[in-house]
Structure 1
Amino acid sequence: MIYFLIYLFVEVYITIEIASHIGGLVTFLEIVGSAFLGIFILMNFRHTLSENLDALRTRQIDMQGFSNRNIMGLFGAILLILPGFLGDMIGIFMQFSLIGTLIINRFTRKYPPQNHTYTTRKDDYVIDAEIIDDTPALR
């Protein structure tokens, strides 16, 4: 809750400072234009989702990259719809994959990668043995 209040204070402060320099009409046009951009991004999100699914299917990105791209795109579009200059700047930066990945990696937990292969490594405790049987059926 405290982070939301800090964000709200900074958003209002920056919006008032920028609006006092550029004027009310330009501020209104920026708010309406960024809202239309956010709505346009949300309406075309299915294309972005299909491109990300193709990249995931061809193993160009992993599952974490897939979710990061989609979450950042949606969250950035929502910030563009909301009025305010700070939210618009963050929303535009979130549309770029690199910035979104950096932000999401900063606030997510780091889990060690799970090894799903069944090959043994050389440092595993494996005893190499040869089985010798005296039965004539094996000769």
Structure 2
Amino acid sequence: MPVFMLFMLWPLVEIALFVTLGGALGLWFTLLVVLGTGILGIVILRRLGYRSAERLRVEMGRLHDPLGEAGNSLLVAIAAILLVLPGFLTDFIGALLLLPPVRAVVVSSLARRFGVHSMRSDQPARRSDGIVIDGEFVEIDPENSPKTTHPSGWTRH
């Protein structure tokens, strides 16, 4: 029921803000703000795709936890969508989500809420119990590898 109430109250708040702020700012400035934030949202969405994919690839290449960067990119996308939607409340929330400190607070609170322990992208990825497993591997060509009499079970022969 709270979600239903949110969907019922949100448009009413937006209409009230349009009437109140539109009366104070004037018609043309109100339209300019609504169109300007919509265009800003579209520009952010267009630039976000390639940049976030590249940042995720770099974080994974450096063996860092990509969840923080993924959460950050998702919040920027939500902010851009909110900016595209007409309304002062959606624009305000979208502008707040564009601020890095606000995104950091939202990402960390969501991580705590869903039980994710490592959400910082500046730290190497670790197991949840803190144990780091270090290892090396050698790729063996199956055609040129010597046949063992006791296969380990970890390789296909």
Which protein is richer in helix relative to its size? 1
**Match of 2:131, SS?**
coil
Alignment of 1:58 with 2:62, yes or no, is yes
Query: Counterpart of 1:83 in 2: which secondary structure?
Result: coil
Where does residue 96 of structure 1 map in the other structure? 99
Q: Does 1:32 align with 2:35?
A: yes
Change (3 A) 1:42 1:115: same
Distance (Å, rounded) in 2 between the aligned partners of 1:118 and 1:44 = 36
Structure 1 segment 122-133 matched on structure 2, within 5 A: none
Q: Is the 8 A contact 1:39 1:81 kept in 2?
A: yes
- The structural deviation recorded for 1:20 is 0.7
Matched-pair identity in %: 25
Rg bigger for which structure? 1
Q: Which runs of 5+ in 1 are unaligned?
A: 120-139
Instruction: Report the alpha carbon displacement of residue 26 of structure 1 after superposing the two structures with TM.
Output: 0.6
CA contact (8 A) 2:34 2:87 kept: yes
Which amino acid is the alignment partner of residue 69 of structure 1? N
How many residues matched?
118
SS at 2:76's partner residue?
Answer: helix
Instruction: Give the whole-Å Cα distance in 1 for the aligned partners of 2:35 and 2:62.
Output: 38
TM-score by length of 1: 0.70
Spell out, residue by residue over 1:15-52, the C-alpha distance to the aligned partner (whole angstroms, 9 max, x if none).
Answer: 22111100111111111111110110111112431453
